[in-house]
């Protein structure tokens, strides 16, 4: 790939279990005395919730000088607002798996309307999917059910009690209705297939005039984003790792947990630098 100027590079990265990690997802495999210093980047009910290493924080702050950095998440806007990443606030951010394109912190109404029209025309309604989720789930392992931004649904479950094959059966049911299913930690997402991170990232690239897209992610909901990018990275954990997902232009890291987040930023920073792409 030819060298590009900093403004020609767009970096779109998933957040949870890609760049930021809960205490349960850190996966630190070293003694406490050798563990990296961590920076808290999210509070929930006044308690620390998500972290990245201080080294990763420094890399992310520097990355803002070499690229257009776009946080790209399945989180709702409210959930995303709790995160305070190092460096300047991102001008663009993608929430609700592409359902909301934030510009300077505000959802772009034109983009959201286009998304809603696209969903109405090409997949089963949310109401039908939600009703099926609730009827098929067992209270013995269902902890919570939520609707996100009136766009998709997800369940919070007790993974230890979740029956083997249940997610596969749900995926087969959803596939015939234009929806996709993703299991991430304790959450089972049901998302309309046309609701994608990649579509929103392409819109940001159009608006910014960027020529190269770099991406990172760990779940099946990130697969379309990685496939649409010029180069991508995925950690050694998560749905993509568990299923053996790969693509020629996507690097598979051996690192897992919060150290993988640091390594992803290190490699993206090298690629985004004027001489790195």
Residues 187 and 111 grouped into a single domain: no
CATH of residue 182's domain is 3.90.1070
Rounded Cα distance between 211 and 243, Å, is: 31
Among 159, 192, 225, identify where a domain stops. Answer: 192
Question: Among residues 192, 207, 229, which one ends one of the domains?
Answer: 192
Could you tell me the CA-to-CA distances from 27 to 20, 68, 258, 259 in Å, in that order? 12, 29, 7, 8
The interaxial angle of helices 109-122 and 197-208, nearest 10 deg, is 140
* Cα four-point dihedral sign 61, 63, 68, 72: negative
Which of residues 64 and 55 earns the better pLDDT score?
A: 55
Give the integer Cα–Cα distance in Å for 15 and 261. 9
Where among 192, 212, 243 does a domain terminate?
A: 192
Q: What pLDDT sits at residue 7?
A: 57
Does 96 share its domain with 159? no
**110 is in which domain, residue-wise?**
9-116+195-272
User: How does residue 1 score in pLDDT terms, banded at 50, 70 and 90?
Assistant: very low
Could you tell me if 109 and 202 lie in one domain?
A: yes
pLDDT digits (tens, 9 = 90+) for 248-276: 999 999 999 999 999 999 999 999 987 65
Output the domain CATH number for residue 22: 3.40.50.1000
DSSP string, 34-81: GPPPEEEEEEETTEEEEEEEHHHHHHHHHHHHHSEEEEB-SS-HHHHH
């Amino acid at each position: 790939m030819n060298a590009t100027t900093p403004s020609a590079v767009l970096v779109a990265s998933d957040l949870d279990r890609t760049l930021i990690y809960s205490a349960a997802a850190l996966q630190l495999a070293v003694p406490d005395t050798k563990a990296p210093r961590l920076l808290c980047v999210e509070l929930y009910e006044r308690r620390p919730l998500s972290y990245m290493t201080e080294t990763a924080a420094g890399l992310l702050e520097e990355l803002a000088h070499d690229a257009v950095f776009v946080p790209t998440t399945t989180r709702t806007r409210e959930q995303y607002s709790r995160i305070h990443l190092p460096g300047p606030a991102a001008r663009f951010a993608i929430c609700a798996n592409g359902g909301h394109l934030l510009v300077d912190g505000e959802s772009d109404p034109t983009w959201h309307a286009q998304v809603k029209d696209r969903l109405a025309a090409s997949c089963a309604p949310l109401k039908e999917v939600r009703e099926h989720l609730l009827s098929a789930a067992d209270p013995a392992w269902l902890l919570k059910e939520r609707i996100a931004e009136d766009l998709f649904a997800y369940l919070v479950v007790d993974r230890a009690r979740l029956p083997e094959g249940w997610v596969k059966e749900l995926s087969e049911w959803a596939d015939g209705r234009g929806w996709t299913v993703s299991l991430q930690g304790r959450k089972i997402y049901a998302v309309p297939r046309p609701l994608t991170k990649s579509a929103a990232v392409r819109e940001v690239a159009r608006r910014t005039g960027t020529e190269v897209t770099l991406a990172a992610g760990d779940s099946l909901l990130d697969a379309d984003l990685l496939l649409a990018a010029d180069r991508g990275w995925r950690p050694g954990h998560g749905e993509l790792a568990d299923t053996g997902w790969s693509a020629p232009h996507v690097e598979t890291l051996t690192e897992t947990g919060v150290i993988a987040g640091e390594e992803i930023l290190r490699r993206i920073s090298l690629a985004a630098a004027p001489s790195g792409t």
